[in-house]
């Protein structure tokens, strides 16, 4: 499995954020190739959505925990 096929179930939130940062940096690097840009963009977009979902789950867990502590 290539790095681009590795999905969120196999990566921690921190790993996803680091990978997304690396993907975004690629667009600004000398390694940028128009032929690869669409696939890189699709992968980065998918990763960003996974990160957003993970952050929403964490936020919900924190809210539940804070409700438990305020009782």
Please report the pLDDT score of residue 65 as a whole number: 87
Please report the pLDDT score of residue 69 as a whole number: 78
Residues of the chain predicted below pLDDT 70: 1-9
pTM over 0.85: no
What is the full DSSP assignment across the chain? Answer: --GGG--GGGS-HHHHHHHHHHHHHHHHSTT--HHHHHHHHHHHHHHHHHHHHHHHHHHHHHHHHHHHHH-
């Amino acid at each position: 499995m290539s790095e681009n096929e590795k999905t969120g179930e196999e990566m921690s939130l921190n790993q996803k954020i680091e990978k997304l940062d690396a993907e975004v940096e690629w667009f600004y690097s000398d390694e940028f190739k128009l032929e690869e840009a669409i696939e890189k963009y699709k992968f980065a977009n998918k990763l960003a959505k996974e990160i957003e979902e993970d952050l929403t789950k964490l936020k919900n867990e924190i809210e539940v925990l804070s409700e438990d502590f305020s009782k």
